Amino acid sequence: MRKYEKFIKYCSIGVTGIIVDIGTFWLLTMVAGINIQIANFISISLGQTNNFILNAIFTFKVKDKLFSRYLKYYSVALVGFAITALILFIFVQLLNFNKILVKIIAILIVTVLQFSLHKSITFKTSKNDEYAQI
């Protein structure tokens, strides 16, 4: 269980980010009528900022170089954004699937990739990290 502790915390915190992301996406697309790609960028940015703060404090427990770490975190988030944007384009704009359902599925797809990148790049502390193996 300890082997997966960080991933479990990361996913738990991710739920709060998903709530922020999906809630913002829904408000922007369904209520405000904003284009799904613009709404996707805004909602991902807010969700990822939420996740960075909580992961820095609770999952990876880092306090140093927060601005630099945030830039790395956001860079990884942009990779997730690109993947999500592509999925939304294909399945919503081309194939006319439900945008909220596609958004949720896209989030699930990028979660594992982002965890791996955040663990090895954003929140890396040392080569002797006791949780280095997942």
pLDDT grade for 50, boundaries at 50, 70 and 90: very high
pTM of the entire predicted model: 0.76
pLDDT grade for 91, boundaries at 50, 70 and 90: very high
Sequence ranges of the domains in the chain: 2-122
Query: Rounded to an integer, what is the distance from CA 29 to the centroid of its chain?
Result: 19
Say which DSSP state 130 is in: T
pLDDT grade for 126, boundaries at 50, 70 and 90: low
Q: Report the chain's mean pLDDT, rounded to a whole number.
A: 88
* Nearest C-alpha neighbor of 59 from the set 110, 118, 134, 127: 118
